[in-house]
A and B are shown apart, each in its own frame.
With several copies, the nearest count.
Chain A
Amino acid sequence: MDIPEEKLLWMYRTMVTTRKLYETMYEMYRHGSSLGNFVAGEGEEAIPAAICANLRREDSYKPNFRQTSCLFAKEGYELADIFSGNLFDAERGYLGFSLALGEDVGVYTGFALAAQMRGTDQVCVCTFGEGTASKGSIHEAMVTAAAWKLPIVFVLQNNQYCGGTRYSKVYRFDDLADRARGYGIPGRSVDGNDVMATYAVVREFVERARTGGGPGLIVAETYRLSPYFERAPGEIVIEGYRPEGELEEARGNDPIPRFRKTLSELGLLTDEDVERIDREVEDEIARAMSDGRQRPRVDYDQYIQYAVAEL
């Protein structure tokens, strides 16, 4: 597939920004900023970049829960939003996510249903982990999307780990994309650390959904470099569940250096570009942070007004 040069560079920059966002947010977390539990998706940056490169402002996108911050890359959002304390905005297609895993997939399916009922050409891309994929509510959402041929693309992001449990310990087969057959919808596995390959598959599935061809399931194979979640200082960390050497080996397949290499081989990226982009992105994040943090926060009085049946 021919991917335009700007798209390629945009995806590279997006991946770099995503990685640096994790680093920034982790620093904020370590220094006591109240971000709640901190989760990050290091090593999985290619997938949101490939998705966002295919979406429009009016489309809907749910990143995997550990990649919420990558929403900045979705048209309609900007970096400062990430630091603003609230990303939720149905207008820009982000309907939040469920801390109870899996219960959000049906909600996004409802967005796709509304698009179909109204005859718009909006599309929804909804991501979840291979651990979450076992939840019953996801099965129901996929049955429903298939039954009505809804414009939704499910992206199962298989980063090999659900908490401390390795994927291959739970599942008895090679290809999770086989799940799609059970719903009568197209399914495809892709190397989720290869952003160009992922882009191509997402493009195909999104276009099909946009033109009335119904839902599909993409399984993006990747690896979770980040821990399960960052504990608060002093809390116990158990990370001994990874086989010796596995993490180091996975770092060798980090999608960012991999893509950097491809781009430089294609003559699209020089060492100076790399450094420049790094610097620019760092500046952007610093500016976005100070902008975002200045935006007004929802306070107690506003909070208790929202969606309360009876105080």
Chain B
Amino acid sequence: MAANPKPKVRMLDCGEAINAAFREEMRRDERVVMWGEDVITMESPTAGADLCTRGLFEEFGGDRIRDTPVVEAAIIETAIGAALAGLRPIAHVMTGGFQMGCFDPIFARLGTAYQEWKHPGTLPVVVMASVLGGAAKGADHALSPEALFMHSPGLKVVMPSTAYDTKGLLKTAIRDDFPVMFYTHREVMIREEKEAIPDEEYLIPFGQADVKRNGEDVTIVTWSGMVLRALAAAEELAGEGIAAEVVDLRTLVPMDVDTIVTSVRKTGALLIVHEAMKRAGAAGEVAMRVAEAAPDVVRTLKAPIRRLAAKNVALPTSLRIERRLVPQVGDIVQAAQDLVQESM
């Protein structure tokens, strides 16, 4: 057997990783098409995710990639129709907040109606948007809407936190035969640090959380941009002798409850952190799933499952105020300390 050659890698940022995923999948399958506002002209399918579509128009032409008018409902609905007719559309809606303006098409048509219609076939639509948290852009730009779309029966929800995960999960999303909500996060998109992305194709399956940092004292479950803050918090906590394990869920639907349970079995304490507003946020779902999957683990927790999330207040356009509403690194450190203390 020949020696396994070291796989070639390239250093890419998240936008470049997305661009590579689009390009590979559009080359692989000519049914993959995409549209959205300014996806060609501004090369910016999701606000804050510039250049993700660079070069696609030149390579694949104006039939397979299209600029749309400002018609978010029609962007989604035409994707549904085209998917039913055999294409595999990627529909861009800029931000999670703008998805409120095409909520019925996403929640009720894409995620609900075609089951109700007993449609036995496939419905391969990827809806892409960005969560623009951390820059006081207000709710319409910064909303992280996962809790809302998790409540629709037919939607998978993907929220990666690294360029590597983004590429692998996006390729999986495009090959999925059913609807996928895919969210990039501003803080992931603008990271200076590039990541090593293999030249060789890889896919990351849905429903596999990733333990981004190991620890024995407390489990922090989170996703999307908050993973970056949780990792920074874990670093600080380490300085104070607390070993936090950071579990990046990566996909909210399907949810990898096993990985959480394994971690909590070890640490005995669970803190769920999310950027979205606390009330009726996704933390409740995570907690219930853990309780349902492993009542024994929950019974032996030393303190009840804890959540840290944005206060029940509208996202402001003032950074000063936003920083006091949405969990910051310091807040995560504090919450983890409290939980560990209480568990003792």
Could you tell me if A236 and B73 are in contact, using CB atoms closer than 8 angstroms? no
A241 CB contacts on chain B under 8 angstroms:
41-42
Q: Does B332 sit within 8 A of A, measured CB to CB?
A: no
- Knowing A110-B84, A114-B86, A309-B253, the reply to whether A147 touches B69 (Cβ < 8 A) is yes
* 0/1 string, B103-123, CB within 8 A of A gives 1: 011001101011101111101
A101 CB contacts on chain B under 8 angstroms:
70
Could you tell me if B109 and A117 are in contact, using CB atoms closer than 8 angstroms? no
Could you tell me if A309 and B78 are in contact, using CB atoms closer than 8 angstroms? no
Could you tell me if B71 and A309 are in contact, using CB atoms closer than 8 angstroms? no
B156 CB contacts on chain A under 8 angstroms:
309-310
* A303 and B37 alpha carbons, distance in the complex (Å): 33
Could you tell me if B69 and A137 are in contact, using CB atoms closer than 8 angstroms? no
Query: Which residues in A have some Cβ–Cβ distance to B below 8 Å?
Result: 34, 36-37, 60, 86, 88, 90, 95-96, 98-118, 131-132, 134-137, 140-141, 143-144, 147-148, 162-165, 169-170, 228, 235-236, 238, 241, 298-300, 302-304, 306-311
B69 CB contacts on chain A under 8 angstroms:
131, 134, 140, 143-144, 147, 162, 165, 170
Among A60, A100, A111, A300, the residue within 8 A (CB) of B324 is A300
- Knowing A107-B77, A307-B115, the reply to whether A148 touches B66 (Cβ < 8 A) is yes
Among A37, A104, A306, the residue within 8 A (CB) of B115 is A306
Could you tell me if A141 and B74 are in contact, using CB atoms closer than 8 angstroms? yes
Q: Does B82 sit within 8 A of A, measured CB to CB?
A: yes
Could you tell me if A307 and B85 are in contact, using CB atoms closer than 8 angstroms? no
Q: Does B134 sit within 8 A of A, measured CB to CB?
A: no
**9 tightest A-B CB contacts, nearest first:** A110-B81, A106-B77, A164-B41, A110-B78, A114-B85, A140-B74, A99-B140, A140-B71, A114-B82
- Give B79 Cβ to nearest chain A Cβ, in Å: 6
Q: Which one of B193-201, B222-230, B262-270, B308-316 contacts A?
A: B308-316
- Give A225 Cβ to nearest chain B Cβ, in Å: 18
A169 CB contacts on chain B under 8 angstroms:
67
Q: Does B87 sit within 8 A of A, measured CB to CB?
A: yes
Could you tell me if A141 and B77 are in contact, using CB atoms closer than 8 angstroms? yes
- Knowing A98-B109, A117-B87, the reply to whether A110 touches B70 (Cβ < 8 A) is no
Q: Which one of B20-28, B43-51, B290-298 contacts A?
A: B43-51
A136 CB contacts on chain B under 8 angstroms:
71, 73
Among A37, A98, A110, A311, the residue within 8 A (CB) of B311 is A311
Could you tell me if A298 and B77 are in contact, using CB atoms closer than 8 angstroms? no
Could you tell me if B109 and A103 are in contact, using CB atoms closer than 8 angstroms? yes
Number of residue pairs A-B, CB distance < 8 angstroms: 230
- Give B80 Cβ to nearest chain A Cβ, in Å: 5
Could you tell me if B73 and A137 are in contact, using CB atoms closer than 8 angstroms? yes
Could you tell me if B76 and A106 are in contact, using CB atoms closer than 8 angstroms? yes
Could you tell me if B73 and A310 are in contact, using CB atoms closer than 8 angstroms? no
* 0/1 string, B80-108, CB within 8 A of A gives 1: 11111111010000000110110011001
Q: Does B288 sit within 8 A of A, measured CB to CB?
A: no
Could you tell me if B141 and A99 are in contact, using CB atoms closer than 8 angstroms? yes
Could you tell me if A111 and B140 are in contact, using CB atoms closer than 8 angstroms? no
* A253 and B179 alpha carbons, distance in the complex (Å): 47
- With a 10 A CB-CB cut-off, give which of B72, B141, B279, B325 has the most chain A CB atoms: B72
- With a 10 A CB-CB cut-off, give which of B64, B77, B312 has the most chain A CB atoms: B77
- Give B20 Cβ to nearest chain A Cβ, in Å: 18
Among A110, A144, A165, A311, the residue within 8 A (CB) of B85 is A110
* A170 and B69 alpha carbons, distance in the complex (Å): 7
- Knowing A131-B69, A310-B312, the reply to whether A144 touches B78 (Cβ < 8 A) is yes
* 0/1 string, B269-285, CB within 8 A of A gives 1: 00000000001000000
B79 CB contacts on chain A under 8 angstroms:
110
* A115 and B86 alpha carbons, distance in the complex (Å): 10
B123 CB contacts on chain A under 8 angstroms:
307
Q: Does B215 sit within 8 A of A, measured CB to CB?
A: no
* A102 and B100 alpha carbons, distance in the complex (Å): 12
Q: Does B136 sit within 8 A of A, measured CB to CB?
A: yes
- Knowing A34-B318, A164-B38, A306-B120, the reply to whether A109 touches B78 (Cβ < 8 A) is yes
- Nearest A residue (CB) for B80: A107
- Nearest A residue (CB) for B77: A106
Could you tell me if B84 and A95 are in contact, using CB atoms closer than 8 angstroms? yes
